[in-house]
Structure 1
Amino acid sequence: MGHSQADKAASRERVLRVAARKVRAEGVNRPGVADLMKEAGLTHGGFYKHFASRDDLIAQASAVALAEGSAKMERAARKNEQDPRAGLVGAYLAPQHRDAPATGCALVTLGAAAGRGDQHFKEAYEKQVRAYLDLIAGLGDDSEQARAEAMLTLSALVGATLMARAVADPHLSDELLKTVAGRLGRHASGAPSDAA
C-alpha cells in the first residue's frame, strides 16, 4: 500500500527538519543518512524517495537551517520595542544561543562549509547574510551608514558566537559574549570606547 502525496510530503519535511537541526549542531559533514532517517522515524530504504543523494539532502537542509534564522532574529528585535537592535544583539549573544547550536543561527555553524561549498550553497548562505543585513540596517535609519553598521554588527555577532562556542574555557566564552554585546551597544549609542 503506497503513501499518499501528503504523507510523502510530511515525511520529507520531517527529514528536512531533523537534518536542518543536525547541520546547525554538527555541520555538514557529520550527519549520516541512516541516523537522520531513523531520527525522523523513517527507514533508510525510503531515503531515495525523497532525495537524490545525501548531498542533495544536506544542501536542502542547510537552506532550511539558514532560512529559519530570519524569523528568530525578527522576533528577538521586536522583544525590545524601545531599542530593537539591542534586543537582537542581546538575544544573539546570550549564553542560551551559544549553548543551543541545533536551534541557533546557522550562519555560525555553516560559514566555513559555505565558503568551501558549491555555488548553490554559497547563494543560500548569501541570501541569509543579505536578509540579516537588511533586518539590522532597517532597525536604524535607511542610509549607507546604517548598512555599514549592519555589516559590522552581523560580523561581530557571528564571530563572537563562533568563538564562544569554540573555546574550552567557559569564562572566556562568557567574556566574549558579554564584551562584544557591550561594545556593540556602546558603538550603536555613539558612546566613546575606552579601547585603544
Structure 2
Amino acid sequence: MDIAQNAALVVIDVQKGFDDPVHWGPRDNPAAEENIAALIDAWQSTGRPVVFVRHDSPKPNSPLRPGQEGNDLKDVVASRRGKGSGPEVLITKTVNSAFYGTPDLKEWLDAVAHGDAAEGQGRQLVVTGIQTNLCCETTARMGGNLGYEVFFALDATHTFDLEGPEGWKLTAQELARATAVSLHGGGFAKVVTTEELVAAASS
C-alpha cells in the first residue's frame, strides 16, 4: 500500500458526547480511540495533512449539540490538534458528510493538501472516527464519488447498535461489517487496518 505524502487523514466526530451510553447504547471496538491516536501521530510526525471534523448537531436532545461539553472533541484528539508540521484544519458540520461543512472540505483538500495534483492522481484520503456506518461511511462514499482514492481505517472507527424499520436490529459489529463490505466491495474505498496505514506512512 502506497500512501502519498499529501494523503489527508480525516478524523471525524471524535467527540465527548459519544461517551453517553444511555443515549447511544452498546458500542463496538474499544480500541478505536487508541488507533485514531496512532494514525494522527503517524500523520503529524511525517508532516501530512490532517482534517479534524466536529459535528454540531441541530437536534435539541443530541449530546453533540453546540454549547455543551459533549460537543467538544475528546481529549485524545483535542490534545493532538496543532502538533503536526503539516497543514491542519477544523471543519464543522451539521449533516453526515464531512464534505458538507465549514470550511468546504473539497476546496481545502484541493487547495492546501493536494495542491496541483491531477484529478485521480495523488489525491488520497484516509477516513477514521465516529460513527463507522454513518458519518464515516457517508464521507468515504462521497470521497470515492468525487474521485479521491479513499482508505477506510475500519479498526479506527466505532459505532453503536441500531434499530431500523420493522423492528430490525443490528449490533454495532454487524453494522461495521456491513459498512466494510459495502465500501470495499462496492469500490468506494479500500478497507484497511491502522497497522497497515502507519507502516505505509512511515516507510
Q: TM class, shorter-chain normalised?
A: under 0.3
Q: Which has the higher strand share?
A: 2
Higher relative contact order (CA 8 A, sep 6+): 2
If you compute each CA radius of gyration, which structure gives the higher value, 1 or 2?
1
Q: Which has the higher helix share?
A: 1
TM-score (structure 1 length as normaliser)? 0.28
TM-score (structure 2 length as normaliser)? 0.27
